[in-house]
Structure 1
Amino acid sequence: MMFRMNGWRSRSSRSGHSVSLIGEGSVLEGTFRSEADVRIEGEFQGVLQAAGEVAVGAKGIVRSTDLRARDVVIAGRMDGRVEAEGTVRITPTGRLVGTVRAATLIIEPGAVFQGQSEMGQTPQEDASLVIAVL
């Protein structure tokens, strides 16, 4: 299964698990934990922890005091704190207001990032740190 997000593609799950979807028109508040990848096309407010990738679609809105995942792709709006073991990517339609902690931060042309970033390695990572503004 493939997803498209304004030219960006992701396999349904690199780990072989299913994808948890918060669909357009849905509103979810609270604490959400998932062993799968998570795709948000609706609204989420609260704490989100995913073992896989979190993708915020172009119409998605996330307000999180603590979002933790392997990788995060933001094509919609994200307010709050984001922590990724790997990469945080803000696409041209994406807007992130808050703080980011990740090994790699990619801000594509047209994307908005207002806040602070901290680049750091998790204990399992040996790769060099990268920040990219495309």
Structure 2
Amino acid sequence: MSKNEQEFTQIGRSVQVDGDITGKTDLRIAGKVYGNISIDGELILEKYAIVEGDVKCGAAILAGSIKGDVDCKTKLILQDNSKIVGNVKAEQLIINEGAIFQGNCDMNEALAAKKEK
């Protein structure tokens, strides 16, 4: 299945989720999630979105805020108005000017060294 045909889930701006979210698809959040998120796909967090809980995902593009730890298998991008209060683990981290990040960062050196070979 191509990326364009891949299933994704969207949580609208007026939606609030109280509880954990798990899945194998991409996830776009514009609303609020109070719980942990664990997905295999990409997480897209829109500008006014709020997540209070730990996040595990394949990759992430964040413009909203997360209060919790973030663990991405590949790339984590913090847009200019994003905010993370928690620890981050990612193979690649991109922080745009204006983003706020409070916590520790672990960029898995073994994965990075493997790519260089």
When the two structures are superposed, what TM-score results if normalisation uses the length of structure 2?
0.88
Could you say which structure has the higher strand fraction? Answer: 1
Q: Stretches of 4+ moved more than 6 A in 1?
A: none
**Identity %, equivalent residues:** 27
C-alpha RMSD of the superposition: 1.9
Q: Give the 3-state SS of the residue equivalent to 1:127 in structure 2.
A: helix
Question: Retained in 2: the 8 A contact 1:15–1:52?
Answer: no
What is residue 74 of structure 1 aligned with on the other side?
Answer: 62
Question: Retained in 2: the 8 A contact 1:74–1:96?
Answer: no
What is residue 126 of structure 1 aligned with on the other side?
Answer: 114
Could you say which structure has the higher helix fraction? Answer: 2
AA matched with 2:83 = R
Cα distance, 1:17 vs. partner? Answer: 2.1
Structure 1 residues 89 and 29: CA distance shift in structure 2, 3 A: same
- Structure 2: which 5+ runs fail to align? none
AA matched with 2:45 = V
Cα distance, 1:16 vs. partner? Answer: 3.6
1:92 aligns with 2:55: no
Which of 8, 14, 22 in structure 2 is aligned with 1:19? 8
AA matched with 1:86 = T
What is residue 19 of structure 2 aligned with on the other side?
Answer: 30
What is residue 103 of structure 2 aligned with on the other side?
Answer: 115
- Structure 1: which 5+ runs fail to align? 1-12, 129-134
Report the count of equivalent residues: 114
AA matched with 1:63 = E
Cα distance, 1:126 vs. partner? Answer: 2.5
AA matched with 2:59 = D
Matches within 5 A, 1:39-78: 39-64=28-53, 66-78=54-66
